[in-house]
Amino acid sequence: MARTEPRARPRPRDLPSPAPERNPGVPFDLGWVESVRANRSALERRAATLPGRRTVKQQWQAAWLLRAVTLLDLTTLAGDDTPGTVRRLCAKARQPVRPDLLAALGVAHLPLRVAAVCVYPALVPVAREALAGSGIPVAAVAAGFPSGQMPFETRLREIEWTVAQGADEIDVVIARSLVLTGRWRELYDEVRAFREACGPAHLKVILATGELGTLRNVARAALVAMMAGADFVKTSTGKEAVNATLPAGLAMVRMVRAFAERTGHRVGFKPAGGIRTAKAALDWMILVKEELGADWIRPELFRLGASTLLTDIERQLEHHATGRYSAAHRHPLP
């Protein structure tokens, strides 16, 4: 098996480039949308073989997992969320890995933190207060999350209200029916309106890939969202029967690459839903590195949406430091 290891002296193309400018969107192009194809068997074969062909072990795995922590959108989207739950989650976001474990790994000097904390709109003020001074953005779901089955004006007002509460990032859901019935121009107009309602807040567009029927629909929906000005395209809400899968993610990142090549605008990618293990996080990181390049493995362009993933990452880091696996309760989340 090939091993992905850091080079002692990175080549120029591997050095990080400046933070990308926001995607302003481009005019709707139906011809481009209709030209999109997705070879399901090829995508599934590539997704199935990639984790086995590219592996990371030992100290390189620990380094990749520490990077994964910085890519996390630490999330709580439960019906029983309370201000206390959110405050505890924000405390974990500030110190995602135990200090003694960081010291044992020799990285106590690193300013380790997660990429964002994601909550329901009503809890945005609580999260902002709890994260004050940390530099960690507050993200919130909106636009009729998770189904998108609300009147358009209501969804738009929810985005505006959430931004007014202080959210830095908005994760919206699309109306799946627009994809399933091929109403691409309406989907473009919807996402464009969401982008305008977000104002300075970054827009993450959730496709709910498990409900779109085909990988071709997934690829087309991702393209339309990027045309309309999405800052990120995201796989799932975490509430569907089928959430983030590598074949759907592969279809999306290839559209991200095609969009960047044609327009010059780089759009972020966020898999979410069902990502619970450190191995799964590494699989997603490998996929993005192989398809988009090492420069995409940073919070400005890649996020991992998860609520329980961090616990398993900490367990793997402790195993690397001590040679023993620890119980989950040693790495508590709210």
Per annotation, catalytic residue among 231, 234, 283, 312:
234
Residue from 201, 275, 261, 190 nearest 231 by CA: 201
| Beta bridge partner(s), residue 142 | 172
Q: What pLDDT was estimated at residue 14? A: 42
CATH of the domain at 154: 3.20.20.70
Residue from 322, 265, 288 nearest 67 by CA: 288
Main-chain dihedrals φ then ψ at residue 196, nearest 5 degrees: -65, -40
Residue from 253, 243, 246, 245 nearest 289 by CA: 253
| Band (5; pLDDT cuts 50, 70, 90) | very low
| Mean pLDDT of all residues in 130-151 | 97
Main-chain dihedrals φ then ψ at residue 174, nearest 5 degrees: -90, 165
Contacts of 21 (CB under 8 A, 6+ apart): 265
Per annotation, catalytic residue among 168, 270, 283, 312:
270
Q: What pLDDT was estimated at residue 180? A: 98
Q: Is residue 2 assigned to a domain?
A: no
Q: What pLDDT was estimated at residue 74? A: 97
In this predicted model, what pLDDT tens digit does every residue of 195-207 receive, in sequence order? Answer: 999 999 999 999 9
Contacts of 137 (CB under 8 A, 6+ apart): 115, 116, 117, 168, 169
62 is written with which tokens? 């620990």
Active site residue 57: no
Q: Is residue 149 assigned to a domain?
A: yes
Q: What pLDDT was estimated at residue 329? A: 76
180 is written with which tokens? 């399933």
Per annotation, catalytic residue among 171, 231, 283, 312:
171
Active site residue 279: no
Q: What pLDDT was estimated at residue 125? A: 98
Active site residue 171: yes
Q: Is residue 329 assigned to a domain?
A: no
Mean pLDDT across the chain: 92
- Residue 155, sorted as left (phi over 0), alpha (psi -120 to 50) or beta, turns out to be alpha
Domain residue limits at 215: 26-322
Domain count, the chain: 1
163 is written with which tokens? 């931004």
Q: Is residue 120 assigned to a domain?
A: yes
Q: What pLDDT was estimated at residue 9? A: 35
In this predicted model, what pLDDT tens digit does every residue of 21-45 receive, in sequence order? Answer: 999 999 999 999 999 999 999 999 9
In this predicted model, what pLDDT tens digit does every residue of 306-323 receive, in sequence order? Answer: 988 999 999 999 998 888
